[in-house]
Amino acid sequence: MKRRITSTTLAAGALLAWTALPASAADSVTGEVVDLACYMVHPETSRGPSHKKCAEMCAKKGIPLGLLTDDKQVFILLEDHENAKPYGQAKDKAGEKITIDGNKVAQGGLQGIVVEAVK
């Protein structure tokens, strides 16, 4: 009985400590805005200045965009439903290297970043 009470007390204490943590600061990720339709099929030729026009066209069509970092990680760019403007700014930078501030998320083997600010 004593062991059960102790375990319950520890779990409740951990839950209270977790909920009392301040919200984490936004993450920053720097990389090139790539259109994922091209990048996933032919990554060697679907980035850089020579691919900028195609990336812009794909972005206008609504093809998902990602941020390709120097260490070859790709973050899917996600629109903040309450603040869509920064995502639109990132979309306009297709084919360019930028920094995104936002919250990193991961689900089912995918990683993304909710676009809060573009630099």
For residue 81, tell me if it sits in a domain. yes
Q: How many DSSP H helices and E strands does the chain contain?
A: 4, 5
- Average pLDDT value for the chain: 84
Q: Is the pLDDT of residue 24 over 60?
A: no
For residue 3, tell me if it sits in a domain. no
What is the domain count for the chain?
1
User: Which residues form the domain of 34?
Assistant: 23-118
As given in the structure block, the two tokens for residue 109 are 């083997």
**Is the C-alpha dihedral spanning 106, 109, 113, 114 positive or negative?**
negative
For residue 38, tell me if it sits in a domain. yes
For residue 17, tell me if it sits in a domain. no
For residue 103, tell me if it sits in a domain. yes
For residue 52, tell me if it sits in a domain. yes
pLDDT of 53-108, one tens digit each?
999 999 899 999 999 999 999 999 999 999 999 999 999 999 999 999 999 999 99
Range 19-35 average pLDDT: 75
Quick check: 80 and 14 in contact, CB under 8 A? no
Has this prediction a pTM greater than 0.85? no
For residue 1, tell me if it sits in a domain. no
Range 6-18 average pLDDT: 41
For residue 56, tell me if it sits in a domain. yes
